[in-house]
Amino acid sequence: MNIQEPLQLLGGLSPKTFMQRHWQKKPLVIRQAIPGFAPLLDRAELLDLAAQEEVESRLVVQASAKGGTGWRFKHGPFARKALPPFKQAGWTLLVQGVDLHDERLHALMNQFRFVPDARLDDVMISYATDGGGVGPHFDSYDVFLLQAHGRRRWRIGRQKDLSLQPDMPLKILANFEPEEEFVLEPGDMLYLPPKYAHDGIADGECMTYSIGFRSPDRAELAQEILQRLAEQAVDELGPGLYRDPKQDAVDRSAAMPVALVDFAHAALQDALRDPKAIARAVGEYLSEPKANVWFDGGEPVVHGAVRLDRKTRMLYDADHVFINGESFNASGKDAQLMQTLANTRCLSAADVKRLSAGARSLMEDWCAVGWLHPDD
């Protein structure tokens, strides 16, 4: 992707300018971001997804479509009969991670790869009957809201007061103060930075696609890394008992020997001695598929071109490649080719031939578990 080239998707801004001016900073309304856009899944196909165990879905029903006071909230899966009738106003069905289940939605998400893959999360589809919405709220992450079908009226505001109404099954702002209002038509898109207050209300039946992002929380990241380092430490440090041949006799028996605490410090320093260990742990963590993702095993033979399965998360840094939570050391030509695979999500037959025997055998393993497929 040429990040300097103006994109219709970003209202004529280049990805570079969009990131500088808007990303994490201010909203952008883009009329006809995708001209002539038509829904990639029809209502029946969406309901089929919402009925599946491995698909995360939620239902939000407003007690009164106009008043918006009472809210009911339920987690899926939903059999068709468990959903309210289409002629009932004011309900919304949210289906998460649709990019994992449909190639066209995966391709849509790929249009947003000017943001690093490590920050991309998923595509959610919301279906709403007239007047439906999830109430005025804010999200913790950036989002592109692409209108796919029908119209939605958005009200947004940059308020500081993010207090929530108490005792609600959903996050609803206590004091929503909208500053702008607009109606999005199919193909229009709204970008919102994190914590920007918004409320989208369906104007007739409508479907909206949310291209969502993830952003690790520092406590969560620290915990994950420490856990992984702890597991590695057990393997790498090996046994090594504390010894104290110079220990004096003590008259204050409960006092901790300073040398013992020093020993613990030194053990920890040894465990962290590999300067690449943290980068490796972060890469493994960020490339991990979501909990409900399963791969179907495939052909373990790599003949020609290959492509990543749409559920595969592949990242890399200067020393490693990361794929679906695993890390591999990579250098030289193999690293370069693996990086091409991660960036373009495919590798030509000619490039596959250039891989070392070791790297090719790794790819055969990935094909066998369904992370990678022959690209014919």
Q: Return residues touching ligand SIN (CB under 6 A).
A: 92, 126, 133-134, 139, 143, 198, 200, 208, 210
Q: Which is nearer to ligand SIN, 57 or 327 (CB)?
A: 57
Number of residues that this document lists for the chain = 376
Give the residue carrying structure tokens 């110079």. 246
| End-to-end Cα distance, the chain | 23
Which of 143-171 are b and which e, b meaning 16 or more Cβ less than 10 Å from the residue's Cβ?
Answer: bbbbbbbbbbbbbbbebeeeeebeeeeee
Q: Which is nearer to ligand SIN, 15 or 131 (CB)?
A: 131
When CB distances are held under 5 to 8 angstroms depending on the partner's kind, the choice from ligand SIN, Co ion, none that residue 92 binds is: ligand SIN
Q: Considering the complex, what minimum distance in angstroms separates the CB of residue 204 from ligand SIN? A: 14
Q: Which is nearer to ligand SIN, 208 or 287 (CB)?
A: 208
Q: Considering the complex, what minimum distance in angstroms separates the CB of residue 133 from ligand SIN? A: 6
- For the record, the structure tokens of 260 come out as 């013992």
Question: Which x/- pattern, by CB under 5 A, does the window 139-168 give for Co ion?
Answer: x-----------------------------
Identity of the amino acid at 38: A
Q: Which is nearer to ligand SIN, 11 or 132 (CB)?
A: 132
Residues 270-329 binding Co ion (CB under 5 A) are none
Give the orientation angle of helix 357-368 with respect to helix 332-344, to 10 degrees. 30
Residues 114-143 binding Co ion (CB under 5 A) are 139
The 3-state DSSP class for residue 184 equals: strand
Q: Rounded CA gap, 6 and 17, in Å? A: 9
Q: Which is nearer to ligand SIN, 149 or 280 (CB)?
A: 149
Q: Rounded CA gap, 283 and 281, in Å? A: 6
When CB distances are held under 5 to 8 angstroms depending on the partner's kind, the choice from ligand SIN, Co ion, none that residue 109 binds is: none
Phi first, then psi: what are they for 356, rounded to 5°? -70, 165
Q: Can you name the residues that pair with 323 across neighbouring β-strands?
A: 314, 326
Q: Considering the complex, what minimum distance in angstroms separates the CB of residue 27 from Co ion? A: 12
When CB distances are held under 5 to 8 angstroms depending on the partner's kind, the choice from ligand SIN, Co ion, none that residue 129 binds is: none
Q: Considering the complex, what minimum distance in angstroms separates the CB of residue 200 from ligand SIN? A: 5
Contact (CB, 8 A) for 77 and 52:
yes
Q: Considering the complex, what minimum distance in angstroms separates the CB of residue 106 from Co ion? A: 22
Q: Considering the complex, what minimum distance in angstroms separates the CB of residue 28 from ligand SIN? A: 15
Q: Rounded CA gap, 88 and 141, in Å? A: 31
When CB distances are held under 5 to 8 angstroms depending on the partner's kind, the choice from ligand SIN, Co ion, none that residue 208 binds is: ligand SIN
Binding site for Co ion (CB under 5 A): 139
